[in-house]
A and B are shown apart, each in its own frame.
Chain A
Amino acid sequence: MSLHGAINVVVTDVVTVNPLIKRFHFARADGEYLPAFSGGAHIIVEMQDGDMRRRTPYSLMSSPLDTQDYQISIRRDDEGRGGSLFMHREVRRGMKMRIGMPANLFALDQRANKHLMFAGGIGITPFLAQTAQLMARGGEFELHYGVRNRELGAYVDELEQRLASRLHVYRDDKGEQIDFDRLLSSQAPGTHVYVCGPAPMIEHVVARAAALGWPAEHVHFEHFAKAPAGEPFTVELRASGLTVEVSAEQTMLEAIEAAGVDAPYLCRGGACGQCETRVLACDGELQHADHWLDDDEHASNEKVMPCVSRFRGNTLVLDR
């Protein structure tokens, strides 16, 4: 039930950035500074949506140097579980909320001689924080940002002002495309690549980098994995002696937490491995939505990532 390092915050502003994106500003409810953090970090935002408690990760886009104000940007997703809709429709200035301590699963490699960054759409958010940190401490980087059009290109103006020639913007509506192959073929040793954006973009960059000889250790990416909604199902928590109902819009992890069981987690996006849970019995189909387990593990039905994955069938028993 515990939100790691929960901080009581108040929403100090809600800004419509464009027809799809809103930006939310948080300050500590007691007026103190928020914790310092590293660019690429995310916070878990807790939302009380009726009697459902949601916990969703969002990248911090604000500068790590300004810890009076945390900023996140959320793209409205009409098809999802409803978390972004809740934020867009229900959250207003002055509201009290709880957030978790910043955690970073998309950190810069501090050894890099140069950081080559690729952003698509809302994937720009972690780079806003990282470039702020790099500009302050020094560090060579380039940011290539693909947007649909000028209107939906969030923060282009701000980035142009701050980053000048380090920023390259590519507009879909003008047919501009990032030339990944050319960029990936022309980097000096010690360059690291970072990509955050829609899943197909990430997959493409990772595949091209590999094909062009880049070692995996130099390629970093973060999926904004959305835990999918689905049908309700039941799961037995053998170690806790409980049976839990997971509603259509709830993740398994949220349902486990709502039942009072303190399950481990970190990213809540299916990427970090911390919530990995042993499956003791499975009569039905596990719907894996994570990027952590490998294909064999998915097929074995012996493990599941409850932060994003679901189940359809008769019986699911977890070691939790």
Chain B
Amino acid sequence: MPGSQMTSASSTAEPSARSVTASAPFRDESFRNDFTFRNSPDTVLRAPFPFDQDAYMYAVNMELHRDGKAGTAFEEPIDVDEHYVSEMRDRALVLDEDPLRCQSLPHMTLAGWDTLELLMTSKAASYPDWFALTREGDRWHWINRPLGIDQHFVFGDETTLPYAPLEYITRQAQGDFCVLDERAGNLWMDAGMVTTQADWSLDFDIGMNFFEWHAPVPLAHELGIFERALKYLRAVQQGNPARRLNWTMTVNPRLDTSPENFHVWGPENTHITKDNVADKLFLRIELQSFWRLPRSNGILFPIRCYFLSMRDLSTVPKWAKRMHRVLKSLPPELASYKGLDNYRPIAIDWLAQFDDGSPTTPGPFPD
């Protein structure tokens, strides 16, 4: 495969962020500096558009994560798309600058192995052209063709991998991953790989429980959203994952919108104008899923990020109309919490041209 490297069997070398070049069907693009990220038209259509009606309010909105609808981001349990290689390269850059974005409290190593198994088996089953996993007892062999990885290791033995298991596998999986410990009737964020977050810090939040790490979210606590969500999540069982969608907006297709770097990306919030809003303002969709982990009894909570520019949205008439209406009707506290205040009016003005006021069909999928 042009541009990829096959490391030798039993090697523990890991291609660096800069040494792997993307090749078709994977795009070669950036999520910082020159922001060359673009969605192919097909990728736009498969995005998990988060609004199933013309206004938005918090809901528990959990559903089972199965019966993947073909042609959507739900098709495979762990979705891999054209941005895979470039996203992994951006992750490696973030980790080079700030290793604290991936941490695991000492008691979470077993959950890390559970996570490694889940992601490897899922990717190998969904995308056999790109990923392969063969196992003989504890001796595992993992191949990741897009990233040029060929790794023999012993499952359960950290010394046979170049990184601890959670870091190892999440350096090869799109989206953030929170690993939760269940105890005392609550869920505790005790490990994670968090480089594509919408403005929260793993380093600060690690160790918090479900209500604590959600503490800054306005309105939702009063509605009892989190009590119900916690009860649902504690009942999630192996083999029966759940999912929900969340959303915000970002200026530029920047994955690393962390509080750590707020002084870097924060200023961009004021750069939106009517002339650049179409290509510079993005709907940032989070596909969250919840998986019971077998040996540790923890919960894996992936947060997978999808960008749609306002122009991308305008290519799907129903989505443009709906986005317009959602932004117009959004409660001010929510808009502020999501950081939209600087550019919401500009986005509403631009999207207005696509909204003729006619009814939209129920459900989130394009007509």
A and B: bona fide binding partners: yes
Residues of A within 8 A of B (CB): 4-5, 35-38, 40-41, 64, 101-104, 107, 109-111, 133, 137, 217, 264, 266, 273-274
1/0 contact trace for B216-233 toward A, CB 8 Å? 000000000000000100
Tell me if B274 is interfacial: C-beta within 8 Å of chain A. Answer: no
Tell me if B40 is interfacial: C-beta within 8 Å of chain A. Answer: no
Q: Which of B156, B234, B237, B297 contacts A38 (CB 8 A)?
A: B297
Task: Give Cα distance in the complex from A65 to B108, angstroms.
Answer: 18
How far in angstroms is the closest Cβ of chain B from A266?
Answer: 6
Contact (Cβ within 8 A) B297 A41: yes
What is the interface of chain A mostly: helix, strand, loop, or mixed?
A: loop
Known: A4-B237, A5-B238, A110-B296. 16 other contacts (CB 8 A): A5-B237, A5-B239, A35-B238, A36-B117, A38-B294, A38-B297, A101-B237, A101-B239, A101-B240, A102-B238, A102-B294, A104-B297, A107-B297, A110-B181, A111-B107, A274-B234
Tell me if B235 is interfacial: C-beta within 8 Å of chain A. Answer: yes
Q: Which of A37, A110, A217 contacts B107 (CB 8 A)?
A: A110
Residues of B within 8 A of A (CB): 107-108, 110, 114, 117, 156, 181-184, 231, 234-235, 237-240, 294-297
Task: Give Cα distance in the complex from A266 to B181, angstroms.
Answer: 18
Task: Give Cα distance in the complex from A287 to B6, angstroms.
Answer: 66
Residue of A nearest to B294 (CB): A36
Q: Given contacts A107-B182, A109-B183, is CB(A35)–CB(B295) below 8 Å? A: no
Task: Give Cα distance in the complex from A289 to B117, angstroms.
Answer: 39
Contact (Cβ within 8 A) B183 A103: no
Contacts of B114 on A, CB cut-off 8 Å? 36
Task: Give Cα distance in the complex from A5 to B108, angstroms.
Answer: 26
Q: Given contacts A5-B237, A102-B238, A217-B184, is CB(A37)–CB(B294) below 8 Å? A: yes
Task: Give Cα distance in the complex from A5 to B110, angstroms.
Answer: 23
Residue of B nearest to A220 (CB): B183
Q: Which of A40, A109, A110 contacts B110 (CB 8 A)?
A: A110
Residue of A nearest to B108 (CB): A110
Contact (Cβ within 8 A) A5 B296: no
Contact (Cβ within 8 A) B184 A103: no
Contacts of B110 on A, CB cut-off 8 Å? 110, 137
22 contacts between A and B (CB under 8 A): A5-B238, A36-B117, A36-B294, A36-B295, A38-B294, A38-B295, A38-B296, A38-B297, A40-B297, A64-B295, A101-B238, A101-B239, A101-B240, A102-B238, A107-B183, A110-B107, A110-B110, A110-B296, A133-B295, A137-B110, A266-B237, A273-B231
Task: Give Cα distance in the complex from A141 to B239, angstroms.
Answer: 31
Contacts of B294 on A, CB cut-off 8 Å? 35-38, 102
Contacts of A36 on B, CB cut-off 8 Å? 114, 117, 294-295
How far in angstroms is the closest Cβ of chain A from B233?
Answer: 12
Task: Give Cα distance in the complex from A5 to B66, angstroms.
Answer: 13
Residue of B nearest to A264 (CB): B235
How far in angstroms is the closest Cβ of chain A from B171?
Answer: 23
Residue of B nearest to A216 (CB): B184
Q: Which of B156, B181, B182, B240 contacts A4 (CB 8 A)?
A: B240
Task: Give Cα distance in the complex from A109 to B110, angstroms.
Answer: 12
Contacts of A35 on B, CB cut-off 8 Å? 238-239, 294
Contacts of A38 on B, CB cut-off 8 Å? 294-297
Task: Give Cα distance in the complex from A35 to B121, angstroms.
Answer: 13
Residue of A nearest to B135 (CB): A33
